[in-house]
Chain A
Amino acid sequence: MDKNLGKENNEKIYRFSQEGKELGISNNVLAFSLLSAIEEASNYFTELLLSKCGNPTLMRNISARIYNERVIKYELFLAIYYVMQNYDVETIIERARLLSSKWMNIRRGYIDVSDEDLDEIETYYTNYDTMEKVISELNKDESCDILNTLVQI
């Protein structure tokens, strides 16, 4: 997958959700599109890491495993976010698990999305630029280390 396409996709989906808000589209549909934007963002981060690492075996295995697993995309996105907040490791794991399973339920349409839920998802998404920046600053070894761990989830 072209990594710029992933970036473009998530920004388009996010814009769609913003316009949808003004059109009075229901929270469930808006949450669905915001979560899709987060999935695309997470794919894009993975692509960034893959291009820095440059290991073809990792690339094939990551694309086969991660791109099919929505919950891993959420957990990766949230883990990066919480690491940036400098939480301790236990808190990161607990929060990432709780919220990613809530998002899975929203994505499946099991939960009626409240305004607060929607704001929460949006708040996470709006940190996308900062997250992109810190990921693009990583070096080759760091990128490979993260991917080697990710492939085992």
Chain B
Amino acid sequence: MEEHIRYIIDGYTTQRVEDIKDGLRSHLTNLDDNVKIRKVGYKVSLSFRTPATANIMQCEDIDELLSKLGVMVTRIIVSRVVTYEFEGAISSATGGGIAGGTAAKRLDVGLLIAALSGGKTVERGEGIILSCKKRDGKWIRI
């Protein structure tokens, strides 16, 4: 099991996704390969993680860094996450399966989290450390 700090940032940009990614990597040297940037129109969502031992960047610092890369940040969420390999359903309560959804059993939460977080390597959120948004040019904690 590995621990990380994940940053999720929403904003607007006219820059290319590749340029933002390269810029991020050159400013933050402690990032791993898990950098996700999704851009639809001018709206952009960025997500990256740093080691659990790294200093937690404050909203103002993140904003300053990203404005250098041409991203106008509107909202930031910083969470603690753990990653682990998903081994499949172990508990006996989940065995058997449900044909056509006719009988309800207990929901396999481990499997749901694995599916939502995107695969065999599960990243489970352990709680929000910091979240803020910009209002009238100032960062406020939400």
Cβ distance A21 to chain B, nearest Cβ, rounded Å: 22
Question: Which listed residue, A85, A145, A149, touches B98 by the CB 8 Å rule?
Answer: A85
Q: Which of A126-153 contact B (CB under 8 A)?
A: 127, 130-131, 133-135, 137-138, 142, 144-153
Chain B, range 93-142, C-beta contacts under 8 Å to A: 94, 96-98, 101-109, 111-120, 123-128, 131, 133, 142
Among A60, A89, A134, chain B packs the most CB atoms within 10 A around the CB of A89
Closest beta carbon of chain A to B126's beta carbon, Å: 6
Which of A58, A89, A96, A150 makes the CB contact (< 8 A) with B120? A89
Could you say which of B88, B96, B126, B131 contacts A89, with CB atoms under 8 Å apart? B88
Which residues from A are CB-within-8-Å of B97? 85-86
Check if B81 is an interface residue, CB within 8 A of chain A: yes
Chain B interface residue bracket vs A: 35 or more
Question: Does A79 lie at the interface of the complex (its beta carbon under 8 Å from any beta carbon of B)?
Answer: yes
Pair A134/B106 contact, Cβ less than 8 Å: yes
Which residue of chain A has its CB nearest to the CB of B107?
A134
The interface residues of chain B lying within 8 Å CB-to-CB of A57 are 128, 131, 142
Complex CA distance for A130 and B108, rounded to whole angstroms: 14
Instruction: Rank and list the top 8 A-B pairs by shortest CB-CB distance, nearest first.
Output: A148-B125, A86-B97, A127-B101, A92-B115, A134-B107, A142-B109, A79-B115, A83-B112
A-side interface residues toward B, CB under 8 Å? 57-58, 60-61, 64-65, 75-76, 79-86, 88-90, 92-93, 96, 127, 130-131, 133-135, 137-138, 142, 144-153
